[in-house]
Chains A and B, each alone.
Chain A
């Protein structure tokens, strides 16, 4: 659904970086590793939160 607000493991706030990450690494063609480094998401627990996320709001919204 929506990106998790915090990292499940360490509790760091990662939600705020999602839109930029999505735009640059998923829609754009930048290297995800570089984008995460630039966003300051250092730990691998936080990085997997963004790398493995899929937005599902558009998928479920027709079935309200």
Chain B
């Protein structure tokens, strides 16, 4: 894509970020959101072979729990969809089996969180299993969603119009997200989401800035926010190219 968009970070962390994109249509903003949720492939355990399970949970329950553990997703190009990586777990009670006990056959695919309890094992109970992780999309199963709670809001511009009439009751004016004030981006949490505490006694006008969206993105640990967003945009581009090729005469 040759068009360039103006992207500005408001908060930036490894797993959580807030950024402003200017010059995109509402449809494209939603396209990015949907691609982040459903179209970026991530690794997750899909098939489990139990060798021994004498815990209090059934094999199927444990397989679901193992599947929901986020795994780090290898860089693009290392794996293609439907490739598998084998992980194994062997814990004997009395102990708790954690996601960190999963031993991977590939150092690119490791549990992203080490402290997720899988099952508490009592004296004499044992869990031994082999699991296959697959690269798939959020469309297929929620465990493959790389982005959690991905959303966006319109950027709103705050303008102080006038003083309030002298005897008017002060009314709270709640906004959430990020507002633009004199060209500066201010997260609303700075003033407790209430504009009347920021500008007491003033009449305020709020309006949407056209085609500017503030995204709030969190990942489950499979990759960084940056990676998720770039991969989501790449997937849109790939599909657009595919469509273009398909409809060409």
Contact = CB atoms under 8 A, between A and B. Distances in A.
B68 A5 contact: yes
A12 interface: yes
Contacts of B149: 10-12, 43
Contacts of A13: 68-70, 113, 116, 220-221
B145 A19 contact: no
Contact of B57 (A1, A5, A43): A1
B56 A61 contact: yes
Interface string A31-64: 0000000000001000000000001010011001
Contact of B69 (A1, A5, A18, A57): A5
Contacts of A55: 120
B85 interface: no
B148 interface: yes
Contact of A11 (B54, B113, B220): B220
Nearest to A19: B117
B39 interface: no
Interface residues of A, number: 19
B122 to A, nearest CB: 5
A2 B218 contact: no
Question: Which of B99, B125, B142, B148: most chain A CB closer than 10 A?
Answer: B148
A16 interface: yes
A10 to B, nearest CB: 5
Given A5-B116, A19-B115, A12 B148 contact: yes
Contacts of B99: 16
A6 interface: yes
A12 B122 CA distance: 28
A37 to B, nearest CB: 13
Nearest to B221: A13
Interface in B211-249: 218, 220-221
B115 A16 contact: yes
A2 B62 CA distance: 10
B139 interface: no
B56 A1 contact: yes
A6 B117 CA distance: 11
Nearest to B97: A2
A6 B65 CA distance: 9
A51 B122 CA distance: 25
Nearest to B119: A2
Interface of A: 1-3, 5-6, 10-13, 15-16, 18-19, 43, 55, 57, 60-61, 64
Given A2-B120, A13-B220, A64-B54, 7 more contacts: A2-B65, A6-B68, A10-B149, A11-B220, A13-B70, A13-B116, A64-B56
15 contacts: A2-B65, A2-B119, A3-B117, A5-B116, A6-B68, A6-B220, A11-B142, A11-B220, A12-B148, A13-B220, A18-B117, A19-B117, A57-B119, A60-B56, A61-B122
Give 4 closest A-B pairs by Cβ, nearest first.
A5-B68, A15-B116, A16-B115, A11-B148
